[in-house]
Copies of this chain bind each other. A is one copy, B any other.
């Protein structure tokens, strides 16, 4: 039993990555953690990027203090090796930790005896949906990608009927129909565009149609034995890319969302496709962080090539910090409620696939 006079502390640190405006917890969630017996400590200025002043956290019941010294530390972006050095012995760390690529940081956590839970590694089972930070942030990113495209396009998204005639709606193609892609399709459709989705997995066509978008059928079937998708042959892949390139040139906006965890993003929009697009068209490449889905993308930059604007924003959720932080904070709170029992004690049940799946650093026997 923990001493009720000295409850476990949850630290919310000020993010240090340039451009990161999110914060791992919002004031409205402080009370929920308090009811679990947890004391919330906020690093001064942690909410600044999301315009959440220290006072607002204090009014909600949090304290301003040394968040890095807390028993459980919450972050948005993966902490640096220097940051990891600020954590207390046997601290619990939870957040985006990029376990597939941040090998040096992971080694530092293990060496320091930190027990680290990466939200990216939470298994995607239905019981874990409420903790799915990848999805919640991808939804934000898909929405923002459409706003960015609409801002850059020199045309209306919706059809417009005026006394002097009509302008047709913009044609928007979204490549990749995961959470980000579906949110982008839904948002483009809302704004009045003609939205079309494509994915290498033909089984997501129904989801694309369910948000009001059309499905781009390239006419290449890859149905193998027992109805499962089979690997495309080399010749089929080339034909697929040729047809995709041809189809791409008919759109005003192309939003690409194809990410493969820990690997370089696949090329979906070739330089030839960009050359074929109408002057003034816009590409928003959401895979810039891993190289981009467009051959001409310059990650983190906005360029114009062949009169087509190619944007590659690296952290779209950070551009909408209030709701991105709110959703992310709820995901982390759900995770904490799994790691801390009703009495406010830390109980890491590694027989639970969520706990063992998410744990990327800890006592050796704890990590899968």
Selected from B50, B135, B155, B192, the residue in CB contact (under 8 A) with A280 is B50
Question: B164 and A334: CB pair below 8 A?
Answer: yes
Question: A155 and B327: CB pair below 8 A?
Answer: no
For A279, list chain B residues within 8 Å (CB): 51-53, 56
Selected from B132, B135, B151, B163, the residue in CB contact (under 8 A) with A129 is B163
Residues of A in contact (CB 8 Å), total 47
In whole Å, how far is A163's beta carbon from the nearest beta carbon of chain B? 4
Question: A130 and B163: CB pair below 8 A?
Answer: yes
Instruction: Indicate if A233 sits at the interface (CB-CB under 8 A).
Output: no
Selected from B160, B191, B280, B330, the residue in CB contact (under 8 A) with A164 is B330
Instruction: Indicate if A83 sits at the interface (CB-CB under 8 A).
Output: no
Question: A331 and B192: CB pair below 8 A?
Answer: no
For A167, list chain B residues within 8 Å (CB): 323, 326-327
Question: B50 and A154: CB pair below 8 A?
Answer: yes
Selected from B155, B190, B321, B334, the residue in CB contact (under 8 A) with A322 is B155
Selected from B154, B190, B192, the residue in CB contact (under 8 A) with A158 is B190
In whole Å, how far is A87's beta carbon from the nearest beta carbon of chain B? 26
Determine the distance from Cα of A51 to Cα of B304 in the docked complex, in whole angstroms: 11
Question: Known contacts A150-B147, A154-B50; is A164 also within 8 Å of B190 by CB?
Answer: no
Instruction: Indicate if A131 sits at the interface (CB-CB under 8 A).
Output: yes
For A192, list chain B residues within 8 Å (CB): 190
For A129, list chain B residues within 8 Å (CB): 163-164
Looking at A50, A52, A155, A331, the one whose CB has the most chain B CB atoms below 10 A away is A155
Instruction: Indicate if A307 sits at the interface (CB-CB under 8 A).
Output: yes
For A323, list chain B residues within 8 Å (CB): 154-156, 160, 167
Question: A330 and B165: CB pair below 8 A?
Answer: yes
Q: Please list 19 pairs of residues, one from A and one from B, whose beta carbons are closer than 8 Å in the complex, sorted by A's number.
A: A50-B280, A51-B279, A56-B279, A130-B165, A131-B164, A132-B164, A135-B163, A136-B162, A136-B164, A140-B156, A143-B158, A154-B320, A154-B321, A155-B320, A156-B320, A164-B334, A187-B191, A190-B191, A190-B192
- Residues of A near any B CB (own CB < 8 A): 21, 50-53, 56, 129-132, 135-136, 139-140, 143, 147-148, 150-151, 153-156, 158, 160, 162-165, 167, 187, 190-192, 279-280, 307, 319-323, 326-327, 330-331, 334
